[in-house]
């Protein structure tokens, strides 16, 4: 409890006890609690510590930071997923454009009589495919004057009804195999 000791310069001087170090000090204000700046700073730290304990401040901060990190991670994940989706869409669009361009080029070549382009556009093992294959092999044979003959399922490219025989042999044997024989076509 403060005690009054006298007057100085028109002020009442009181003797008080410091709440930190328990030493007595003189003050003109009855509500002073600390004898020095060091004790005042320590009192401020103690009040902050008590407030943090009473309000569970540090736990709330930890939870808030965890939530913020999780939200940031979710945003980053969402952004990354969007980037990946956009890259896939771009790649798909580019691939489709290249495929369309290639098909257009093949169609032009096929119209100009290129058998390999016709083979690429035809369904596998269709009549159109094997007709184009036969033409391609005969063109190669004539162009390079080779001494070998191509056989598909033991059917020569020079045989009459090559396409029908090959298609029938595929149905019967269930496979396709080719080989070259060293012999000039007569």
**pLDDT digits 0-9 by tens, 27-50:** 888 889 999 999 999 999 999 999
pLDDT over 50 (residue 185): no
Domains in the chain: boundaries: 12-54, 56-112, 122-182
Centre a 10 Å sphere on the Cβ of residue 95 and count the other Cβ atoms it contains: 10
Q: What is the dihedral of CA 102, 108, 111, 116, to 10 degrees?
A: -40
Give mean pLDDT, residues 116-130: 93
Arithmetic mean of pLDDT over the chain: 89
Q: Average pLDDT of 103-125? A: 93
State residue 147's pLDDT score.
83
pLDDT at 182 over 90: no
d(C-alpha 179, C-alpha 152), whole Å: 7
β-pairing verdict for 155-156 and 24-27: unpaired
- Predicted pLDDT at 148: 87
Confidence band of 173 (pLDDT split at 50, 70, 90): very high
pLDDT tens-digit map of 65-109: 999 989 888 888 888 889 989 999 999 999 999 999 999 999 999
């Amino acid at each position: 409890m403060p005690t009054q000791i006298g007057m100085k310069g028109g002020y009442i001087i009181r003797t008080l006890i410091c709440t930190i170090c328990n030493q007595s000090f003189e003050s003109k204000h009855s509500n002073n609690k600390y004898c020095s700046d060091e004790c005042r700073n320590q009192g401020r730290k103690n009040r902050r510590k008590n407030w943090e304990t009473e309000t569970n401040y540090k736990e709330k901060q930890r939870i808030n930071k965890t939530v913020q990190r999780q939200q940031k991670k979710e945003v980053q994940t969402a952004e990354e997923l969007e980037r990946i989706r956009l890259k896939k869409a771009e790649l798909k669009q580019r691939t489709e454009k290249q495929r369309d361009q290639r098909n257009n080029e093949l169609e032009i070549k096929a119209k100009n009589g290129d058998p390999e382009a016709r083979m690429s556009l035809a369904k596998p093992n269709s009549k159109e495919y094997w007709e184009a294959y036969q033409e391609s092999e005969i063109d190669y044979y004539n162009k390079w004057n080779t001494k070998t003959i191509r056989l598909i399922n033991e059917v020569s490219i020079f045989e009459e009804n090559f396409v029908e025989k090959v298609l029938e042999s595929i149905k019967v044997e269930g496979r396709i195999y080719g080989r070259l024989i060293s012999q000039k076509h007569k």
